[in-house]
């Protein structure tokens, strides 16, 4: 049972990561910096609960605000460029964050233990959940409450004027600009919201794994972050959720019985999915009625 | 810093510049594919490493001199390049840049996993040429294998430039990269140009993969992600679509990498490269040889 609860926790955290990339992708920007914001959230939240003995929720809030602030600060220079240049700029930022934590050591002595991040060894002993008697089920419920809140928030955002503005910038920047939308402000706001969500996700991630290290926040995690919304489809937030379940639940855990061959299938199935569903999994049939709410897309070849 | 340190520093920078030829070739590949298709092929560096592995496979079957490994890598690179186009680009609508981005990520993971699966994840040693030669220039020693890699890289770049600027195929490639619709109207088959671009960049990538293997002395699937990142960095610093830019940027990144490693240690090396790149993007987004009206 604990195995499935653990899987549910992983899917929840990865959904948060995917949703953070979803915000940015709505404005048509591909950001591979989400793993960096995730790392910042993880380290900040970990430091606050372990070293400063804060309760979890305020620590998560601060982690989210710090990640959001960093995202905002990075967004201004980074979003001056777009397309491939933005991909590279955000890869560079994400890697810089990872390498910063690779070299970051700040420890205090607590009894016989040294607590705090320690360079390449990572940050061990983030034991908030066991110390406060949270069971695996409690943690899973907590994570999914947060996921539900974030998804509800984004759903509301999507159906408000803000969502229309985000999508307008994503579909055609020039047209959006000519109707008086400040595209820089929109992109930076989307990036900030994305950083905020990634910060929450990272904070939770740090607490359920209890041990974080720089290698977990590399380019691979960043590509996973954008993989969820792209694979799931950008028409609404449930696509990201579906893709997180598909990748983490099916491709990673569900295919475990295949042993070695699982990893081979993983890449192959992503390629196949993009060939048959170029606009994402949650694109066909059942959501067609839903999709008419948005601007009708032209081509749906292969689907 | 005394004289001995200075000599060591210059020596390591020189080694880096020589190795930077690999980065230049990868940067050219990314730039060319972006030029004709306006798409990023993230699987490119992984395919290059894959081609180098394929050449090892060939070498294990036939007994041949080590030079043949480079030829085999180039051929394998061309084949893999064509396959990447077929699987990752051909059947995906071009109007959707995110889909091809994702499919190349899938291919990157797939190629990596095929390598891991075939080799059990154990790094394999790669034949180096002229590794016993060291040319003494004053107090500096230039390693023969690195010099060979550098020379090979330069030959590839010259051939590529000749191909692009002296042949009909090169003319067609440049036409498609400037105006796909207009070149289609002139009777150029864009699909054919796209396939050939992938094959040519694949050949270049295969050589780059073999060069990496020869310079480091071994091949590992762990190389593909750092090489992807470095290749993208070179593309951006050199300016998108600029081949001379990619060449110079590759050498600069190679040299700086070793300089940072010398002064700040290996764990902080890439941090400074990333910060440098970020600064570059902010202050000079068009690259070294920026034209006044860049597109992206």
pLDDT at B94: 75
pLDDT at B292: 47
Rounded Cα distance between B50 and A128, Å, is 44
User: Would A199 be classed as within a structural domain?
Assistant: yes
Which residues does residue B218 pair with via DSSP β-bridges, in sequence order? B125
Which B residues 21-80 touch A at CB under 8 Å?
Answer: 34, 38, 40, 42
Number of domains in chain A: 1
Question: Angle between the A183-209 and A161-171 helix axes, to the nearest 10 degrees?
Answer: 110
Q: What separation in angstroms does the CA of B40 have from each of A123, A194, B116, B285?
A: 35, 23, 24, 17
Across the interface, do B278 and A95 touch by the CB < 8 Å criterion? no
What phi, psi does A239 have (nearest 5°)? -60, -45
Q: How many residues does chain A have?
A: 303
pLDDT at B137: 73
Across the interface, do B93 and A302 touch by the CB < 8 Å criterion? yes
Domain ranges of chain B: 3-283
User: Would A303 be classed as within a structural domain?
Assistant: no
Per-position b or e across A197-236, b if 16+ CB within 10 A of its CB: bbbbbbbbbbbbbbebbbebbbbbbbbbbbbbbbbbbbbb
Rounded Cα distance between A107 and B189, Å, is 62
In this predicted model, what pLDDT tens digit does every residue of B29-49 receive, in sequence order? Answer: 998 888 888 888 889 999 999
CB contacts of A231 in chain B (<8 Å) are 102
Nearest to B244 by CA among B172, B158, B179, B171: B158
In this predicted model, what pLDDT tens digit does every residue of B77-128 receive, in sequence order? Answer: 999 999 999 988 888 877 777 788 888 888 998 998 888 888 887 888 888 7
What are the structure tokens assigned to B91, written together? 């059947």
User: Would A139 be classed as within a structural domain?
Assistant: yes
Rounded Cα distance between B159 and B152, Å, is 11
Shortest CA gap A203–chain B (Å): 23
Which residue in A85, A231, A234 is closest to B285 by CB distance? A85
- Confidence tier at A290 by pLDDT (50, 70, 90): low
What are the structure tokens assigned to B176, written together? 């498609």
Domain region containing A31:
2-218
Cβ-contact A18, A229 below 8 angstroms = yes
In chain A, beta strands by DSSP E: 108-110, 113-118, 122-124
Cα first-last separation, chain B? 43
User: Would A132 be classed as within a structural domain?
Assistant: yes
Cα first-last separation, chain A? 37
Shortest CA gap B24–chain A (Å): 16
Rounded Cα distance between B176 and A181, Å, is 33
pLDDT at A293 exceeding the cut of 60: no
pLDDT at B9: 83
Q: How many residues does chain B have?
A: 296
User: Would A284 be classed as within a structural domain?
Assistant: no
**Residue B226 contacts A where some CB pair is shorter than 8 Å:** no
Q: What percent of chain B has pLDDT over 90?
A: 17
pLDDT at A298 exceeding the cut of 60: no
User: Would A288 be classed as within a structural domain?
Assistant: no
pLDDT at B123: 85
Q: How far is CA A226 from the centre of its chain?
A: 8
| Cβ count within 10 A of residue A266 | 18
Q: Closest chain A residue to B238 measured between Cα atoms?
A: A85
The CATH number assigned to the domain with range B3-283 reads 1.10.3470
User: Which residues contact residue A171 at a Cβ distance below 8 angstroms, ignoring those fewer than 6 apart?
Assistant: A28, A295
Tell which of B98, B269, B288 to mutate to test the A interface (max A CBs under 10 Å). Answer: B98
In this predicted model, what pLDDT tens digit does every residue of A156-173 receive, in sequence order? Answer: 998 899 888 998 888 888
Across the interface, do A84 and B235 touch by the CB < 8 Å criterion? yes
Q: Decide: helix, strand or coil at residue B286.
A: coil
Rounded Cα distance between A182 and A165, Å, is 10
Tell which of B26, B39, B88, B113 to mutate to test the A interface (max A CBs under 10 Å). Answer: B113
Strand pairing report for A122-124 and B124-125: unpaired
Rounded Cα distance between B38 and A83, Å, is 9
């Amino acid at each position: 049972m604990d195995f499935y609860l653990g899987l549910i926790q992983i899917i929840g955290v990865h959904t948060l990561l995917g949703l953070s990339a979803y915000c940015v992708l709505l404005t048509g920007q591909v950001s591979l910096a989400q793993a960096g914001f995730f790392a910042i959230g993880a380290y900040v939240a970990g430091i606050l609960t372990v070293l400063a003995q804060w309760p979890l929720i305020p620590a998560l809030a601060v982690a989210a605000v710090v990640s959001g602030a960093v995202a905002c600060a990075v967004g201004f220079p980074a979003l001056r460029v777009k397309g491939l240049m933005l991909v590279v700029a955000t890869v560079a930022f994400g890697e810089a964050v990872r390498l910063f934590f690779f070299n970051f050591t700040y420890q205090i002595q607590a009894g016989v233990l040294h607590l705090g991040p320690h360079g390449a060894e990572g940050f061990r002993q983030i034991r908030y959940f066991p110390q406060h008697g949270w069971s695996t089920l409690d943690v899973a419920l907590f994570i999914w409450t947060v996921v539900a809140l974030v998804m509800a928030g984004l759903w509301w955002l999507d159906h408000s004027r803000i969502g229309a503005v985000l999508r307008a910038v994503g579909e055609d920047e020039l047209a959006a600009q000519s109707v008086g939308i400040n595209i820089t402000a929109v992109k930076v706001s989307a990036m900030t919201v994305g950083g905020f969500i990634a910060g929450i996700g990272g904070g939770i991630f740090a607490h359920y794994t209890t041990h974080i290290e720089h290698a977990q926040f590399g380019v691979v995690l960043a590509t996973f972050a954008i993989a969820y919304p792209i694979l799931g489809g950008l028409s609404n937030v449930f696509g990201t959720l579906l893709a997180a379940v598909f990748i983490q639940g099916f491709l990673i855990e569900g295919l475990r019985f295949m042993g070695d061959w699982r990893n081979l299938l993983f890449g192959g199935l992503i390629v196949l999915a993009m060939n048959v569903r170029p606009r994402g999994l949650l694109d066909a049939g059942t959501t067609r009625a839903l999709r008419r709410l948005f601007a009708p897309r032209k081509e749906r070849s292969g689907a | 810093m005394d004289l001995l340190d200075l000599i060591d520093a210059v020596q390591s920078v020189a080694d880096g510049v020589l190795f930077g030829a690999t980065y230049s070739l990868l940067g050219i590949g990314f730039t060319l594919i972006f030029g004709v298709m306006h798409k990023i092929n993230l699987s490119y560096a992984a395919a290059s490493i894959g081609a180098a592995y394929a050449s090892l496979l060939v070498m294990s079957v036939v007994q041949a001199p080590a030079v043949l490994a480079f030829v085999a890598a180039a051929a394998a690179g061309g084949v893999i390049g064509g396959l990447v186009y077929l699987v990752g680009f051909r059947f995906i609508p071009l109007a959707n840049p995110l889909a091809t981005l994702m499919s190349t990520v899938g291919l990157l993971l797939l190629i990596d996993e095929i390598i891991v699966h075939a080799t059990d994840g154990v790094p394999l040693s790669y034949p180096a040429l002229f590794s016993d030669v060291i040319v003494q220039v004053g107090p500096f020693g230039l390693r023969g294998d690195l010099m060979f890699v550098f020379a090979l890289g330069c030959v590839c770049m010259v051939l590529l430039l000749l191909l692009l600027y002296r042949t009909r195929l090169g003319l067609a490639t440049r036409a498609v990269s400037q105006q796909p619709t207009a070149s289609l109207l002139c009777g150029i088959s864009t699909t054919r140009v796209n396939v050939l671009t992938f094959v040519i960049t694949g050949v270049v990538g295969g050589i780059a993969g073999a060069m990496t293997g020869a310079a480091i002395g071994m091949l590992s699937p762990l190389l593909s992600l750092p090489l992807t990142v470095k290749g993208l960095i070179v593309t951006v610093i050199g300016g998108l679509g600029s081949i001379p830019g990619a060449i110079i940027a590759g050498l600069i990144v190679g040299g700086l990498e070793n300089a940072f490693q010398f002064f700040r240690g290996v764990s902080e090396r890439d941090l400074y490269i990333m910060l440098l790149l970020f600064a570059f993007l902010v202050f000079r987004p068009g690259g070294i040889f920026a034209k006044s009206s860049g597109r992206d």
